[in-house]
């Protein structure tokens, strides 16, 4: 579904991604782990079209989207739920969700809204309240639900567990796992390596702008180097 080949990018004169290769197949949950500053967010910015690629290609469902603008990628089904939530705090929960479907004018919007509420019942309870009043975990749920309103085929998630209490980390990642049932393919970037690999099919380990390891998530969880460097074991 998503295929990245030899991708390089730079900030000014400094190259920060040095030839990334990765694949996300339809129906998979794929996790990218790596330390602070490894380049995970930059890679996601390249995938969503915010950061220009200096070399290499990105293909999505067979199309070369390396230079496609962000809105075109969203339209094709490649949708990112941003880090740090970036919800509209003055708008209600429901208004935020409807904004995620701004490009659609059909009856499916209401159906998708009900599906989002089914996935996150707390959002239904608070649908008419300002989103700014939600807790951190609830805002993260809203960010994911809003991205789902855009009808993604492949959802890109940047640190969905950022800033959440441990119990909510598991809850959010379990929800990510349940997206499989909605036929949504997921590429998730996480510093919370253990929880994120636990819900994934496959994983990539990134270090200083390069992919260090690519393997089934269970193999990474069992790998001594990964356990030492990223799982704190």
Q: Does 13 bind ligand ATP (CB under 6 A)?
A: no
Q: Pick the binder of ligand ATP from 16, 74, 131, 164 (CB under 6 A).
A: 16
Sole residue written with tokens 């380049």: 39
- CB of residue 12 to ligand ATP, shortest distance in Å: 7
Q: Pick the binder of ligand ATP from 20, 29, 30, 39 (CB under 6 A).
A: 39
Q: Pick the binder of ligand ATP from 2, 28, 30, 42 (CB under 6 A).
A: 42
Shorter beta-carbon distance to ligand ATP: residue 83 or 112: 83
CB under 6 A: which stretch of 36-44, 87-95, 99-107, 169-177 binds ligand ATP?
Answer: 36-44
Q: Pick the binder of ligand ATP from 3, 5, 41, 175 (CB under 6 A).
A: 41
Q: Pick the binder of ligand ATP from 5, 191, 198, 210 (CB under 6 A).
A: 191
Pairing of strands 154-158, 78-81: parallel
Sign of CA dihedral 142, 144, 147, 148: negative
Shorter beta-carbon distance to ligand ATP: residue 46 or 148: 46
Sole residue written with tokens 């969880």: 221
- CB of residue 189 to ligand ATP, shortest distance in Å: 7
Q: Does 148 bind ligand ATP (CB under 6 A)?
A: no
CB under 6 A: which stretch of 29-37, 84-92, 127-135, 218-226 binds ligand ATP?
Answer: 29-37
Cα–Cα dist 182/101, whole Å: 17
Helix pair 136-149, 166-178: axis angle to 10 deg = 10
- CB of residue 225 to ligand ATP, shortest distance in Å: 18
- Cα torsion for 78, 79, 82, 83, to the nearest 10°? -50
Token pair, residue 14, equals 């400094």
Dihedral pair phi/psi, residue 137, rounded to 5°: -65, -40
Q: Pick the binder of ligand ATP from 38, 58, 134, 200 (CB under 6 A).
A: 38
Dihedral pair phi/psi, residue 40, rounded to 5°: -65, -50
Cα–Cα dist 146/211, whole Å: 30
Cα–Cα dist 15/153, whole Å: 30
* Binding positions for ligand ATP, rule: CB under 6 A: 11, 16, 34, 36-42, 191
């Amino acid at each position: 579904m998503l295929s990245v080949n030899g991708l390089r990018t730079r900030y000014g004169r400094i190259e920060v991604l040095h030839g990334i290769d990765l694949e996300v197949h339809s129906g998979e949950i794929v996790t990218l782990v790596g330390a602070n500053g490894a380049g995970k967010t930059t890679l996601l910015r390249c995938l969503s079209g915010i950061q220009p690629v200096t070399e290499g290609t990105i293909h999505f469902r067979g199309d070369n989207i390396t230079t496609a603008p962000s809105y075109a990628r969203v339209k094709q089904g490649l949708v990112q739920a941003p880090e740090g939530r970036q919800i509209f705090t003055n708008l209600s929960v429901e208004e935020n969700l409807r904004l995620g479907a701004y490009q659609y004018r059909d009856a499916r919007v209401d159906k998708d809204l009900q599906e989002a509420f089914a996935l996150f019942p707390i959002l239904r309870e608070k649908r008419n309240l300002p989103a700014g009043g939600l807790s951190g975990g609830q805002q993260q749920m809203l960010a994911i639900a809003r991205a789902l309103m855009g009808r993604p085929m492949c959802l890109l998630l940047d640190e969905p567990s950022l800033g959440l209490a441990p119990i909510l980390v598991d809850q959010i990642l379990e929800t990510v796992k349940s997206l499989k049932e909605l036929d949504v393919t997921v590429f998730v970037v996480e510093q919370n390596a253990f929880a994120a690999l636990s819900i994934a099919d496959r994983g990539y380990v990134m270090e200083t702008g390069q992919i260090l390891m690519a393997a089934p998530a269970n193999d990474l969880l069992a790998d001594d180097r990964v356990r030492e460097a990223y799982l704190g074991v």
